Amino acid sequence: MELYEHLKRLEAANDPIAVGLVGCGQMGSGFVHMTGQMPGMKTVAIADIDVSRPMQTYEAMGLSPDDVCVTNDEHEAADALAQGKVLVTEDALLLTRVDGVDILVEATGSTEVGAKVAWHSIMNEKHVVMLNVETDVTVGVYLHELAKKVGVVYTVASGDEPGECKKLYDFSASLGFEVVCLGKGKNNPIDYHATPASCGAEALSKGMNPKMLAAFKDGSKTMVELAAMSNATGLVADVPGAHGPKADLDELTKVLVPVEDGGILSRRGCVEYTTGKVAPGVFAIITTDDPAIRAEMEFVSMGPGPYYRLYRPYHLTSIETPLSVAEAAIYGEVTLVSEQMVAEVVAIAKRDLEPGQVVDTIGGYDFYNRLYKYEEAEAARGIPMGLTPGGTVLKPIKKDEMLTYDNFVPDSTRFAYKLRQLQDAMLAQR
């Protein structure tokens, strides 16, 4: 049965998928509004450290204060949900335990919060959908394996570029095409040293959090997205940080192909991004050696080959996330997961860092991030991006120098660090 038919049946039975959301920022709020217009799904609970944000979201959807229970008490929360009210809380982990919530969506962008919410959701036998790729590229392999053992779904969401790229990859690979390059458009060149201060005016004009905009501009978000694609498919970054050429849509099959065919790649099977006129789309460059299929591809207006471009001209972020929620809850299916550690996103100093300094967060003032092959990052003893916030500098680190286990120590009390230790031990046994 088609997904829409399933959702309509749930709606008709007055038995919608009951969703709990953690993080009611721009993306989270957008997700709530989408579920508000869909059949068969309802966001019944929102956790945010600032309860005014979920309150404003529910109010904008026409709910009155009497429809909303604001509490951090689990029993009071369960009673409110049973009475048909919606729940607002400051306690993210409450949503992983409370009766009346079927599935969690994590949308904070914080590796630490994401790790806690995902782990507790899984251990309490609730599905979890990550609108938080930062957590997945840090500890997603472990969380996916844990979810399989428990019998629930852990998945990265539709709408983010990695999920949409994975759909192109699966389509191509299922048909037997070779995926030469998988990637996304980026709407501006990387400014490695962008900070909340340098992005402040632009962030204000766009209604964005300055740290989030800085994380886009300094390349951290792009590196994370490419890493998720890599860990899900086995494709790799051709060079650290990827090439990132300025190639427009009609140039992709000329540029993002092997050097021997006039492109820039040293191999087939890469993840990439371009700053040409491709964003907000995602793409796959595919090929086949079969002359008959090449002739057919030309007949259906895909060009003479040998390389062909598949292109999706949009990704709708949180607008599409409910599809992952529905597929997880109804079919037990994942959108994208890290099957293996093929890629690592490593922290690089954004400015000179001094011994004793405790570094800030992604999109802050202290570090940006670069994509490496996993074995390259391991050999360099690079600090995974998700373990960097709150860690301490041991030795002087120059601007644009890698943070390593020789010059930096992560905060070992953090939950993400502990999960990463478990993941590393699990991978060592494979």
Q: Phi and psi for 58 in degrees, rounded to 5? A: -65, -40
Closest CA to 97 of 24, 136, 45: 45
pLDDT confidence band for 209 (50 / 70 / 90) = confident
Asked, for residue 212, whether it belongs to a domain, the answer is no
Amino acid occupying residue 127: H
C-alpha to C-alpha distance for 293 and 412, rounded to whole angstroms: 54
The reported pLDDT for the residue numbered 188 is 86
My answer on whether 87 and 19 are in the same domain is: yes
Cβ atoms < 10 Å from Cβ of 424: 15
Same domain, 356 and 255: no
Question: 139 lies in a domain?
Answer: yes
The structural domain count of the chain equals 3
Cα separation values, 316 from 30, 273, 288, Å: 10, 18, 30
Query: What contacts 24+ positions apart, CB below 8 Å, involve 406-415?
Result: 406/381, 408/347, 408/359, 408/383, 410/383, 411/387, 414/112, 414/387, 414/390, 415/112, 415/115, 415/116, 415/119
Q: Please report, for the domain that includes residue 258, its CATH number.
A: 3.30.360
- At 380, the amino acid letter reads A
Cβ-proximal residues to 108 (8 Å cutoff; 6+ apart), any chain: 22, 23, 25, 92, 114, 117, 132
Q: Taking 70 as the threshold, does the pLDDT of residue 141 lie above it?
A: yes
On whether both 361 and 294 belong to a single domain, the answer is: no
Boundary (domain end) residue, out of 276, 297, 331: 331
Query: What's the rounded mean pLDDT across residues 147-173?
Result: 97
In a domain, 203, yes or no: no
Do 22 and 38 belong to one domain? yes
Both 171 and 248 in one domain: the answer is yes
Tell me: do 348 and 291 sit in the same domain. no
Could you report the per-residue pLDDT of 352-396, keeping only the tens digit for each? 999 999 999 999 999 999 999 999 999 999 999 999 999 999 999
Residues 17 and 153 in one domain: yes
Task: Decide which of 282, 298, 331 is a domain's last residue.
Answer: 331
pLDDT tens figures, 223-238: 999 999 999 999 999 9
Domain that holds residue 170: 161-191+217-314
Average confidence score pLDDT of the chain: 97
Q: What does the buried/exposed string (b/e) look like for 180-198 if buried means 16 or more CB atoms within 10 Å of the residue's CB?
A: bbbbbbbeeebebbbbbeb
Work out the average pLDDT over 102-113: 96
DSSP secondary-structure letter at 1? Answer: -
Is residue 300 packed enough to be buried (19+ CB in 10 Å), middle (13-18) or exposed (0-12)? Answer: exposed
